[in-house]
């Protein structure tokens, strides 16, 4: 796979196509060819999440070529990811799924499909006409000749103004990929990234984007399907959280674990799934606490395996857990700057200034560490001034610390993992 651009962003191609079994071998071959080409160019494939039909064919080809494949499914049809997906979300309402499919795409490609596919094409086409997005959509194959004729009919009879939007009719997948590569070449020169690329977004923009979800939805995180409630941080959208979860899987087996700022339960549940002896979770957001309890029950973990408390860092944890934990997990936000929003609790997800969470954590964590226990602390250089302050706080609160992992160091925001011990 080719490397992504300097800011760390990989272009995303949303591919629309039918989920029903397609007996047209040429159409299936076209889907497979496009899926393979997307992966080989280092782009991310996004589609509707089904394992069947055109969706399944393009996903399988991209996955087998080593690519990232992001399924955005309807939960009633595809409640869990199939084996050719690397990332997954499932929504219970069509409009929320449609919004995610569209906002993910930097380019849209339409393969053969029926009413659902045509609805997706029309939605993207209309948004381009209205100027809400300015992204090309490529309709592949003779299958879409009738759509071209319909547009010409509208123009000829004055039903519609001449369409100046970026709708491309490609004879085959090879022609479509030539256009895509040329288009992305121009975008690279401008150092383009999606407006929903979290590493480059300020905290208030992340906050506003998270608030768009108004109903619970499913995600794949750390190898587990979890439900995310509205007003709760969705761990799968942050590469820092994904990297942190990989470390948790390596470290958690046989350990007594504290997951501080647990959100929807993500890290603690991954720890249990990896063989942790016992997990305690806390979060300042009561909705997150309800969410974490829901996910623990969903994965059939019982109160002999996990305790969940509402409150700030260690404040709600009973005294009996002092000197108890072999491993304490904390993956706080990276931003120092304040922003003002309607939700104090959701704000704490995107900036740790609220309640001085990092200092509160460092003050108390040492009291809860077992002998030879350690802390895994995730952070980034996204706010370099704040990074320096945090490293100073490690020392000033009496911890010995080491930077044990650094990833994405040449991008707009790196991802780093610290290991802390109390001296």
Model pLDDT for residues 333-374, shown as the tens digit of each residue: 875 544 434 455 444 444 444 448 899 999 999 999 999 999
Q: What are 107-149's pLDDT values in tens digits?
A: 999 999 999 999 999 999 999 999 999 999 999 999 999 999 9
Residues 84-101: pLDDT tens digits? 999 999 999 999 999 999
Question: What pLDDT, in 10s, does the model give residues 199-234?
Answer: 889 889 999 999 999 999 999 999 999 999 999 989
Residue 338: CATH number of its domain:
3.40.50.150
* pLDDT, tens digit, 9 for 90 and up, residues 293-308: 999 999 999 999 999 9
Q: Do 296 and 162 belong together in one domain?
A: no
Same domain, 170 and 82: yes
pLDDT (mean) for 258-276: 98
Question: What was the pLDDT predicted at 51?
Answer: 97
For the chain, the domain total comes to 2
Question: Angle at CA 410, nearest 5°, toward 408 and 416?
Answer: 35
Range of the domain at 307: 203-422
Q: Are residues 383 and 237 in the same domain?
A: yes
What percent of the chain has pLDDT above 90?
Answer: 84
175, 147: one domain: yes
What is the distance between the alpha carbons of residues 282 and 259, in angstroms, rounded to a whole number? Answer: 7
Does residue 397 lie within any of the structural domains? yes
Helix/strand/coil for 138:
strand
pLDDT at 186: 96
In a domain, 174, yes or no: yes
Length of the chain: 423
pLDDT digits (tens, 9 = 90+) for 315-340: 999 999 999 999 999 999 875 544 43
Cβ–Cβ under 8 Å, residues 14 and 109: yes
Residue in the structure block whose two tokens are 């011990």: 421
Residue 417: inside a domain:
yes
* Distance in angstroms (rounded) separating the CA atoms of residues 205 and 211: 10
3-state class of 405 per DSSP? strand
Identify the domain boundary among 117, 152, 184: 184
Look at 196 and 340; give whichever has higher pLDDT: 196
To the nearest whole percent, how much of the chain has pLDDT over 70?
93
Question: Which residues, other chains included, contact 56 with Cβ-Cβ below 8 Å and sequence gap of 6+?
Answer: 19, 50, 82, 84
Question: CB–CB of 350/365 below 8 Å?
Answer: no
Residue 147 dihedral angles phi and psi, to the nearest 5°: -65, -40
């Amino acid at each position: 796979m080719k490397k992504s651009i300097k800011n760390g962003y990989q272009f995303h191609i949303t591919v629309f196509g039918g989920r029903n079994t397609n007996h047209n071998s040429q159409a299936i071959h076209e889907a497979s060819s496009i899926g393979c080409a997307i992966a080989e160019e280092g782009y991310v494939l996004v589609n509707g999440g089904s394992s069947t039909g055109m969706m399944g064919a393009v996903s399988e080809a991209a996955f087998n070529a080593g690519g990232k494949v992001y399924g955005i499914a309807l939960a009633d049809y595809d409640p869990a990811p199939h084996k050719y997906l690397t990332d997954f979300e499932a929504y219970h309402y069509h409009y929320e799924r449609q919004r995610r499919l569209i906002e993910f795409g930097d380019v849209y490609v339409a393969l053969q499909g029926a009413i659902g596919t045509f609805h997706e094409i029309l939605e993207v086409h209309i948004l381009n006409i209205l100027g809400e997005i300015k992204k090309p959509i490529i309709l592949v194959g003779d299958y879409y000749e009738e759509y071209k004729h319909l547009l010409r009919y509208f123009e000829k009879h004055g039903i519609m103004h001449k369409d100046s939007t970026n709708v491309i009719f490609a004879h085959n997948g090879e022609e479509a990929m030539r256009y895509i590569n040329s288009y992305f070449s121009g975008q690279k020169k401008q150092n383009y990234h999606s407006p929903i690329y979290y590493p480059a977004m300020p905290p208030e923009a992340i906050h506003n984007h998270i608030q768009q979800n108004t109903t619970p939805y499913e995600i794949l995180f750390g190898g587990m399907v979890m439900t995310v409630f509205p007003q709760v941080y969705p761990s799968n959208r942050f590469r820092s959280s994904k990297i942190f979860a990989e470390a948790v899987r390596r470290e958690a087996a046989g350990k007594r674990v504290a997951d501080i700022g647990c959100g929807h339960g993500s890290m603690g549940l991954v720890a249990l799934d990896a063989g942790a002896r016992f997990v305690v979770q806390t979060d300042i957001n009561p909705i997150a606490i309800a969410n974490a309890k829901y996910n623990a029950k969903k994965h059939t973990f019982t109160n002999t395996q996990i305790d969940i408390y509402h409150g700030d860092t260690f404040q709600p944890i009973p005294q009996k857990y002092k000197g108890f934990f072999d491993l304490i997990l904390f993956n706080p936000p990276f931003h120092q700057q304040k922003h003002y929003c309607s939700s104090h609790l959701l704000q704490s997800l995107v900036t740790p200034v609220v309640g001085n969470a990092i200092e509160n954590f460092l003050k108390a964590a040492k009291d809860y560490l077992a002998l030879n226990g350690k802390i895994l602390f995730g952070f980034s250089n996204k706010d370099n001034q704040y990074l320096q302050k945090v490293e100073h706080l490690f020392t000033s609160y009496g911890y010995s610390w080491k930077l044990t992992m650094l990833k994405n160091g040449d991008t707009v925001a790196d991802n780093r993992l610290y290991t802390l011990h109390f001296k």
